[in-house]
A and B are shown apart, each in its own frame.
Chain A
Amino acid sequence: MNRREFVTFGASCAALVPQASLAFSPSAKTNEPPLLAISDRRYSDSVRFANAIARNGGEAIEIGSDIGTVWFGDIEPRLRHGGLRLAGVTLPSDLFVLERLVDRSRSATVYTGTHDWRGPGPCSRHRLTGAISLGRPASELQSGGLDWASALGDALIPERLQAASLETRHLAFGLTPASDNPKYLTSWLMALA
């Protein structure tokens, strides 16, 4: 039984779909590697994030059956032609798989965020880490409300980020999760070589 086909229960199937039909297009600065956003259609927050990246010149790619199929079928072939930036709001396991697939290369995860709605009460906990200036992603997240994932996507466009020394921010505030939210998500940005 594949999890993404298992849509008969609960409210796990997101109503939104990513803008996967967008043509592959390099980002605004022609010398920058293309930016791809991974989208998990079961989770509205994931789709919203990917759509925000796509609106900003990146490309949204939907996880079909599994993250490995996306990697081997789509990302890895593109990587043979040059570097890529990859971003997403996904379950932690998808980031884990991607990091392991590139662990013996010069690729790096430049930013990760964990977004945690587990436990009682309206408070959500967020931990942002990266060698980038985290001010904007943190404030966009905090003020994003229901559309926090789109706001975070806008903030994580690489051309808008500033390099900084490694920093971690812990945030806790009331942020309403989407109805299909699995209560724990990661946001991330990778530079693939």
Chain B
Amino acid sequence: MRLPTGLDQAKFDTVCTALRKIVGENWVVTAEDRLSAYDDPYSPGLSSDFLPSGAISPANIDELKSILRTATQYGVPVWSISIGRNYAYGGAAPCLSGSMILDLHRMQAIEANEELAYAFVEPGVTYVTLYKYLQDKQQKLWIDCTDPGWGSVLGNALERGVGYTPFGDHAAQLCGLEVMLANGEVIRTGMGAMEASRTWPLYKGAFGPSLDGLFLQSNFGVVTKAGIWLMPEPESFSAVELTFPREDDIVGAVDALRPLRLDGTVPTATIANWMRIAAANTTRAEWYDGKGAMPREAIEKLIGKMGIGHWNMRFGLYGRPKVVAENLKAVQKAFAKIERVDFSITGYHKGETVRPEHRSLAGIPSVELMPLNWLGGAGAHIECPPVVPMVGKDVFELYRRRSELFNTHGFDHYCGLTTTSPRSFINTGSIIFDRNDFAQCKQARELGAALIEDAKVMGLGGYRGHISEMDLIARQFAFNDHASMRVNEQLKDCLDPEGILSPGKQGIWPKRLRESGKDEAK
């Protein structure tokens, strides 16, 4: 445990006493053993650099308001989390050691509207909870969920997470936020700024500027509720899986996919290299027991035995059966020109049981972390995914450069390309390591930094990052002498002048920590 900067134990105890009066004894945690639930479980040897002083869990916005007042009074920074399962990016752990975790998991209200296909959710609502809620109410609505689906619907959308259905761009499904500012004031964005608005979760605009974006990947306020659009259950859908045998097939595959994404035939898609499929189904020791990255011969053997491609693409086609059939024809025609491409198509009608391997395409949550087992030991992974243009040669060049970096650092290259935006991919590249292996943790950190730096050379920036890499990534957004960050800092100083909300998130530090913050976090 680390105390908040400037507070001694006695003062901190006073703060905790005040907080316990707000939320009750059980919902303020300072004991080391219980506080470990807020550690970063995938930390690459950096746990001690990102330690909270405690955790507090409000049940509602009245309690939240009192907490923020107390935090401001005593100068205690709070790091807000919804559920805290933003694993690979830091989990619940704060950028600034000594922050108190503001754990919103007890706020779990759901209100869904089948007619207009939306729901209001609070931060503690997980994909599993929302899915069960809709099932129990027999509402013919689909959610779109991440994989795994145990995290917060709202939290993931605010972090710009992605899924696998046409509603896979989670931030794009947000419609109307309720936000508490550092001073305890509650605002509602969009049409929600009206009293008794009937269109808050229906129309994203407002009369005037849109404020929503200010609160995504942000530390300007605490989002307490959001409208989120849901997908009406389609009459049918087809799960389409394609495999491409050769490494350089990615060029043709991407260039064939792009027009289908741009014209809306394919609503979203995921491309996985051999390693992503292998790690989702097997362990490395089943294939190879040498040190360092797997050699090409071993990879080829694995690909052959598993019957997979070097590249494996998957997406769903949704709608009325005739529409899906027409779209399938367009897909087959587009990809047929690639040599040795293999198609697999599985069709489902409304109400049919979806096979486990296709559930994510139907918004059915599961919790499976198989890639953690790839190396054995205490598996973990970190991510630093850049956004890359949906152009075959660009994707291939990035892949080759990243493969080189992964391999020279001793890791197998895990590569995923997800397109929820029709013109680009998010390139997830899990660095899988044994968190109990000191040397491997160091290698993982060095590889993470090298990948971020190399992406910048290609003009590519990260869309998300581990708490230990947020400053590095933020520094890369340097156009016009970091003008964007300077505006962010102005906003921070205006909306949170005491700097109590999630200091350091996305590289945005409050004024009092701007110079010392990065050191203080260590």
Contact = CB atoms under 8 A, between A and B. Distances in A.
A133 B410 CA distance: 39
Given A1-B314, A68-B128, A184-B377, A93 B369 contact: yes
B366 A10 contact: no
B277 A1 contact: yes
Interface residues of A, number: 36
Interface in A17-68: 64-68
Q: Indicate the member of A10, A12, A101 with the most B CB atoms within 10 Å.
A: A10
Contacts of B372: 92-93, 96
A68 B376 contact: no
A40 B314 CA distance: 26
Interface stretch (B4-12, B180-188, B351-359): B351-359
Contacts of B241: 1
B366 A65 contact: yes
B365 interface: yes
A12 B302 CA distance: 14
Contact of A97 (B132, B312, B356, B369): B369
Nearest to A114: B377
Contacts of B368: 2-3, 65-68, 93, 97
Interface in B14-62: 34, 36-37, 41
Contact of A93 (B34, B365, B373): B373
Name the residue in A8, A71, A182 with the highest tally of chain B Cβ atoms < 10 Å from its Cβ: A182
Contacts of A2: 355-357, 359, 366, 368
Nearest to B241: A1
A118 B291 CA distance: 11
A1 B276 CA distance: 10
Contacts of B359: 2, 65
A100 interface: yes
B306 interface: yes
A159 interface: no
Contacts of A1: 241, 277, 280-281, 312, 314, 357
Interface stretch (B158-166, B282-290, B386-394, B451-459): B282-290
Interface string B367-409: 1111111001111000000000000000000000000000000
B305 interface: yes
Nearest to A98: B367
B208 interface: no
Nearest to B87: A100
Given A66-B368, A118-B376, A10 B282 contact: yes
Nearest to B85: A100
A118 B285 contact: yes
A10 B305 contact: yes
Interface string A65-84: 11111011000000000000
B149 interface: yes
B373 A68 contact: no
Contacts of A103: 36-37
Given A3-B370, A66-B368, A182 B286 contact: yes
A68 B367 contact: yes
Contacts of B283: 91, 182-184
Interface in B290-319: 305-307, 312, 314
Interface in B229-274: 241
A65 B365 CA distance: 11
A104 B378 CA distance: 21
A93 B289 contact: no
A9 B37 contact: no
B347 interface: no
Nearest to A1: B357
Interface string A159-193: 00000000000000000000000111000000000
Contacts of A4: 356
B302 to A, nearest CB: 9
Nearest to B281: A3
B312 A91 contact: no
A184 B285 contact: yes
Contact of A3 (B36, B280, B367, B378): B280
Nearest to B55: A104
Q: Which 5 pairs of residues, A with B, have the shortest CB-CB distance?
A: A68-B367, A184-B376, A183-B285, A65-B356, A2-B357
Interface of B: 34, 36-37, 41, 85, 105, 128, 132, 148-150, 241, 277, 280-283, 285-286, 289, 305-307, 312, 314, 355-357, 359, 365-373, 376-379
18 contacts: A1-B281, A1-B312, A3-B370, A5-B355, A6-B281, A9-B305, A12-B286, A65-B368, A66-B366, A68-B150, A68-B366, A92-B376, A93-B373, A96-B369, A97-B150, A182-B285, A183-B283, A184-B376
Interface of A: 1-6, 8-10, 12, 64-69, 71-72, 91-93, 96-97, 100-101, 103-104, 114, 116-120, 182-184
